[in-house]
Structure 1
Amino acid sequence: MMKRSDWIWTLVGLVAVVLSCYLLYKEIRNISLDELSDSIAAIRPHNWLMAGCATLGAYVALAWYDRIAAAHLGKKISWWFITLCSFTTYALAHNIGASVFSGAVVRYRAYSSKGLTPQEIGLLIFFCSFTFALGALLWGGLVLVCLPQVIERLANVGPWLSMGIGSLLLAFVALYVFGSWRKFKPWTWRKFHIEYPRLAIVGRQLLAGPMELACAAAIIYFALPTEGNPGYFVVLGVFIASFSLALLSHAPGGLGVLEVTFLTAMPELPKVDVLAALIVFRVFYLLLPFALSLLVVMGFEWGQWRKRRTG
């Protein structure tokens, strides 16, 4: 039975979708379907290929999240199983929304079949989420410090504030690395006892998290036109902000949130081209993986049913 908190987050997600879609409608109401089709058709074959490769890279990095978490827990699980579990988890969670809840259900069904306890699965989920957060903090800090003018696309603040925020984000990452190196005392939160990972594990986190975000942002970058393109790192900065807002809103697939944020942050590009790039992102990063994940889930459940029947 769904808890009250789950209902609350579902309601929050619905409200976020309605509000975002309303704002999005105001932005694109003058764009025709013919214009949108022409913009998508104008994307070069090479760019389609690069966007596809970026999608593959993003999901490889997501599978690496689970692999790193399993190594932290001292569990040996095959790469093939982890890859299928991770792919299915994120494909469903990104589209359904409330990613912590929906991802937990899939992971529990999969990893419990490998002998992991509910507490170990909970730690694995937390560790994967924290790896993503580290990647967002690292890239966000670097973009805000090295390109402080990017924040002006979303908020009316000066570059010094941008550099200050970026420095704080990088300081948090540095503190985490230092805590692992010096073996700080574990964190205790409710029933969870979370120890600082080994430095080698932290190093992998600091590669996997940024890799996933870099590849996901690259999908949009390659789908945007060359003329007027603000550059990859600007796209990356806007993507991190928009994707973080989408996760906080719990809107399924960040519906409307991504679009409104990008349209606001990229006034130098025609709105129809930005919208076309975001459609490509949704197809490659969200919809195609979602369709494939349903097949994986059905195959897993069929295998589990056959084991119970023959056992």
Structure 2
Amino acid sequence: MLWKAIGVAALAISVWLLSTELRNLSLDDVSARLVAMPPMTWILAGGATLGAYVLLGFYDRLALVYLGRRVNPFFVHVCAAATYAFAHLIGASVFSGAVIRYRAYSSKGLSPPEIATLVAFCAVTFCLGVVTVLGSVLVLQPFIVDRFLDTMPLDLTSGTGKLLIGAVILYLVVALLPIRAVRLRSMTLVYPTPRIALLQVVVASTEIIAAALVLYVALPAPFNPGFVIVTGVFVLSFAAALLSHAPGGLGVFELAFLTGLSDVPETDVLAALLVFRLYYFIFPFIFSVVVIAVFELRNRGAD
């Protein structure tokens, strides 16, 4: 209940700030920018979105390998796509995604503890990707923080990036150690194998980069600050949206992204954000609703 209240408050504040930021913006100009986008932009954005959602399916597949369970790969990818599409738009992704996963994977024989482990594993995988990509951006473009905050020492920013990358390297190094399990009271944590740990980092980082690519290709070349900058602004904006608990990060994500790309015309940024919302949120959500409806109808028919 508390997080829901925080999410609603964050949504209200962000929408108000966003409306203030865009008060002089013409919707006709944004519409004209969308119409003017070449067909190849829409195709590339769609391809990047498809790639991102396919990679999200590998989150679940890695988790199932970790659990030692076999489930049809097609079922896993459809389940993961529906889960993330629903969670991205509704918000509270860990909880809303857990409900869908429980319904899907319990039908394949997974126990509640196994499904809980799968959800936690996927959350860790996503965090590894965020830390890896953000750390890399801070090392390559340490001044990116200045787009959001007052000027910070470059050594501090790049040092933070190196610490983040170091944390990921430590995660991989621990996977090489012979100790495979740690017991905490009544719980036993089994560390992933080196192969699974490495794939977690690679898959999650690539998925985040694919999602950022949607926005990158939607921005016009003359004002595009470059892929590394766009990716860094995307990761920071997406993290802010998740932490806000606002439904779908609405308002929070847009406000943060506009702030991070303040040197790009607002019309172009907003048009790119609309393309991202359409491809990464709306279309997948429609797919998710259809998949969930078909799954529930089939289960009811089986009963």
Q: What CA distance in whole angstroms lies between the structure 1 residues aligned with 2:140 and 2:146?
A: 14
Using structure 1 for the length normalisation, give the TM-score.
0.94
Matched letter for residue 66 of structure 2: H
Superposed CA deviations along residues 139-179 of structure 1, whole A, max 9, x for unmatched, are 11111011111111112212111111111111110110011
Retained in 1: the 8 A contact 2:180–2:192?
no
Q: Tell me by how many angstroms 1:238 deviates.
A: 0.5
Three-state SS of the structure 1 residue aligned to 2:70 is coil
Q: What CA distance in whole angstroms lies between the structure 2 residues aligned with 1:163 and 1:192?
A: 37
Retained in 2: the 8 A contact 1:123–1:192?
no
For structure 1, the 5+ residue unaligned runs are: 1-6
RMSD after superposition: 1.2
For 1:243, the equivalent position in structure 2 comes to 238
* Runs of 4 or more consecutive aligned structure 1 residues displaced over 3 Å after TM superposition: 183-192
The answer to whether residue 148 in structure 2 is matched with residue 148 in structure 1 is no
Number of residue pairs aligned between Structure 1 and Structure 2? 302
Q: Indicate the larger mover: 67-76 or 262-271.
A: 262-271
For 1:305, the equivalent position in structure 2 comes to 300
The percent of aligned pairs where both chains have the same amino acid is 45
Three-state SS of the structure 2 residue aligned to 1:267 is coil
For 2:131, the equivalent position in structure 1 comes to 137
Q: Tell me by how many angstroms 1:187 deviates.
A: 4.9
Q: Tell me by how many angstroms 1:192 deviates.
A: 4.5
Matched letter for residue 50 of structure 2: L
Q: Tell me by how many angstroms 1:195 deviates.
A: 1.5
Aligned pairs (5 A) from 1:4-19: 7-19=1-13
For 2:35, the equivalent position in structure 1 comes to 41
For 2:100, the equivalent position in structure 1 comes to 106
Alignment partner of 1:163 out of 158, 162, 165: 158
Three-state SS of the structure 2 residue aligned to 1:100 is helix
Aligned pairs (5 A) from 1:172-211: 172-184=167-179, 186-187=181-182, 192-211=187-206
For 2:290, the equivalent position in structure 1 comes to 295
For structure 2, the 5+ residue unaligned runs are: none
Q: What CA distance in whole angstroms lies between the structure 2 residues aligned with 1:222 and 1:216?
A: 11
Q: Is the alpha carbon distance of 1:182 and 1:40 closer, same or farther for their aligned partners in structure 2, counting shifts above 3 Å?
A: same
Q: Tell me by how many angstroms 1:194 deviates.
A: 2.2
Q: Indicate the larger mover: 38-47 or 126-135.
A: 38-47
Q: Indicate the larger mover: 248-257 or 66-75.
A: 248-257
The answer to whether residue 115 in structure 2 is matched with residue 121 in structure 1 is yes
Q: Is the alpha carbon distance of 1:190 and 1:46 closer, same or farther for their aligned partners in structure 2, counting shifts above 3 Å?
A: farther
